[in-house]
Amino acid sequence: MDVFYREWERRAPGETRDLARARALADALGLLDPDVPVLVVVGSKGKGTAATYASAFLAAAGLRVCTVTSPGLRSDRDRIRVDGRALSAAELTALRDVLDEAIAALPPPSHGYLAPTGLFTLSGVLHAREVDADAIVLEAGMGGRSDEVSLFSPDVAAITPIFLEHAHILGDTPAEIAKEKRGVAGPGTVVVSAPQSAEVAKALGDVHHMRPGDSGLPLGLLPAGLGRTNAELGVVAARRLPGIAEPPPETLRDVLASIVLPGRLSWHDVPGTATRLLVDSAVDRTGVAAALAAARRAWDEIDHVVVCLPDHKDLDGAIAELEGLPVTFARLPWPRLSFTRPLPPSWDVVDAEAVTRESLAALGRRVVVLGTVYFTGHVLGAVDASTERLFVTAAVRRPF
């Protein structure tokens, strides 16, 4: 998959993503004006949940929906899905080859690089055209106007809760970050936001602010914890796409009931052992607290917590919530992520590659795994969790 990462790996110090070059690539591939509705999801947390529920709703309505999420759960194949199913290896290879040829025809990079997340976004839109999709759902990699999803003039933009993240890149305050993410919308875009802080709501301006319960779905069809709001947001946003009919109630119930969200308060057994994991991609104090509360509802006690939080995440908040628990801190080996902040002296520290099914089983029978999605994806791979399908639809489809 070197095509997706080649320019990023060769970038010079200080270089940033080249959105203009990405636009030129999309134009060369004939992608800039998809002739189907486009829904874009931006925000600080919960984008994948919103994108999944939006996609499932559209599939229940009888549409073939192509979804792009970022990053992959276990591999790059599951960044792009059709009706919840991850690409096959052959499909991803074919997209790579088309991309490689188109990039070779562009002038060489001079002021930046083609970002991996952007190239997967373009590949997803290309795949949507190849399979004759009826709708496209795109999750932003990072940001809004600075992300490649902004190239596609979305019909609807869904904004999940926004907090201070990627400071000095997207903005120095939550309000500045909100304006950057709001910038994904074009003049005709319907913008729907999850509940926000007063500061963020003011910065977002004139958007539709969803309230809890606006999806009209029973609680049994929504995820527990913080994901509930983002799931409702996805459904509310999907309903705003032009030409979308309400799915039959029975079909909608069946499709939404089939949704699985690996790495989002998901439960997994470590194969061949008595150890059970609660895995959640929590990156701030609120998320960590919600995950621990879910674990305590299921278990009398927590034997161990494994956490991976790079410097730009809310490590201080996590430390406060994890006080009194045995903790192992895992560090990913990637230069783009820093792990330099001081940790409590009682915490064990390991490299992420040392987190295996054997090492997890050695921590006890009730283990909570928290942190950046790159790490939770590593753990999902270690326990061979299925990520091939996020939902199932029985609707009759025309053949590919």
245-301 residue pLDDT tens: 999 999 999 999 999 999 999 999 999 999 999 999 999 999 999 999 999 999 999
Return d(Cα 9, Cα 87) in angstroms, integer. Answer: 24
pLDDT bracket for residue 335 (50, 70, 90): confident
Q: What confidence score (pLDDT) does residue 328 get?
A: 98
Q: What confidence score (pLDDT) does residue 171 get?
A: 72
Q: Per-residue pLDDT averaged across 323-332, rounded?
A: 97
Residue found under tokens 């203009």: 20
Q: Per-residue pLDDT averaged across 37-62, rounded?
A: 95
pLDDT bracket for residue 398 (50, 70, 90): very low
Residue 1, pLDDT > 60, answer no
Q: What confidence score (pLDDT) does residue 163 get?
A: 81
Task: Express each pLDDT in 111-160 by its tens digit.
Answer: 899 999 999 999 999 999 999 999 999 999 888 888 999 999 899 999 99
Percent of the chain with pLDDT over 90: 83
Least confident residue range of 38-42, 176-180, 239-243, 321-325: 176-180
Least confident residue range of 41-50, 169-178, 191-200, 368-377: 169-178
Start-to-end C-alpha separation, the chain = 24
Mean pLDDT, all residues of the chain: 93
**Is residue 41 within 8 Å of 223, Cβ to Cβ?**
no
Task: Express each pLDDT in 214-234 by its tens digit.
Answer: 999 999 999 988 889 999 999
Residue 308, pLDDT > 70, answer yes
Domains along the chain with CATH numbers: 5-260 (3.40.1190.10), 266-383 (3.90.190.20)
- Both tokens of 181, joined, read 């993410």
Return d(Cα 26, Cα 308) in angstroms, integer. Answer: 35
pLDDT bracket for residue 400 (50, 70, 90): very low
Residues in the chain: 400
Q: How far is CA 365 from the centre of its chain?
A: 29
Confirm whether pTM is higher than 0.75.
yes
Quick count: other Cβ atoms within 10 Å of Cβ 5? 15
**Is residue 21 within 8 Å of 114, Cβ to Cβ?**
yes
Q: What confidence score (pLDDT) does residue 45 get?
A: 85
pLDDT bracket for residue 394 (50, 70, 90): low
Closest by CA to 56, choosing from 219, 191, 267, 251, is: 251
Least confident residue range of 76-85, 169-178, 378-387: 169-178
Residue 167, pLDDT > 60, answer no
368 to each of 255, 304, 342, 353, 374, how far by Cα in Å?
28, 6, 21, 17, 16
- Both tokens of 144, joined, read 């809004």
